[in-house]
Amino acid sequence: MATPTIDLTLLGFLLPIFTFLLVFALGYALILKTNILGEKPNKVIALVVALSLGALATFAGRAHTILELAIPWMALLLVVGIIIFSFYGFLGVEEKRVWNMIGRPVVVLLVATIFIISIIMTYDDILGSAGEGETKTVIEGGEAIDVVSDGGSGNKFADSAVAALVHPRVFGAIILLIIAAATAKLLADKIKTGE
């Protein structure tokens, strides 16, 4: 039986375009929304700054790798947020009340954590210390040969920490803790107000 497959190699060629568009759109929106360039920023200047940010992100060495690592996690964060809002909506809690329970600092902290982990994973060869080489015994042609690695495998602590954070069980436990904390806050508020 034939299994249909999708060839996604074209997306690899389009990744710089997606990176440019994402950084450009986010940069333009943030410039206009946060008033970084003044109270009423000139939209042409905001457009030029956003275009420059997009070009820098596209042509800068590893910036697209950071986005390549962070975007799937951001999508997962969005899906988890939809699930949490749907869960509480099913229980009859208003969206505004759920947002007040979770709060903006939690979302900002999660997004910042995703980008920090992406940066650490991208620049691990620079940030990690090159340790001493390890010796492995490899059997080749019936002979045992000792092979010494160059120690350039990166920072083992960072690799272990990232692997632990993104493990499905740990990630599931974090989601359950967030839901449990939000539920406890909801119940405490309900008891306090006497509803």
pLDDT at position 94: 85
Say if 139 falls within a structural domain.
no
Judge whether residue 125 has pLDDT over 70.
no
| 42 and 89 fall within a common domain | no
Tell me the CA distances in angstroms from 73 to 69, 80, 110, 114, one per residue in order.
7, 10, 10, 7
| 37 and 118 fall within a common domain | no
Q: How many structural domains is the chain composed of? A: 2
Q: Which residues lie across from 50 on neighbouring strands?
A: none
Q: What is the pTM of this model?
A: 0.55
Give ∠ CA 92-97-98 in degrees, rounded to 5: 80
Which residue, 60, 90, 114, sits at the end of a domain?
A: 60
- Model confidence pLDDT, tens digit, residues 163-187: 777 677 777 777 778 778 778 877 7
More confident site: 155 or 35? 35
| 45 and 68 fall within a common domain | no
| 50 and 78 fall within a common domain | no
| 87 and 123 fall within a common domain | yes
pLDDT at position 107: 82
Say if 136 falls within a structural domain.
no
pLDDT at position 3: 60
Identify the domain containing residue 175 by its residue range: 62-129+153-195
More confident site: 59 or 148? 59
Phi, psi (5° rounding) for residue 153?
-75, 0
Judge whether residue 46 has pLDDT over 50.
yes
- Model confidence pLDDT, tens digit, residues 62-73: 777 777 778 788
| 122 and 167 fall within a common domain | yes
Judge whether residue 135 has pLDDT over 60.
no
Residue 178 CB-density burial (10 A; 0-12 exposed, 13-18 middle, 19+ buried): middle
| 96 and 157 fall within a common domain | yes
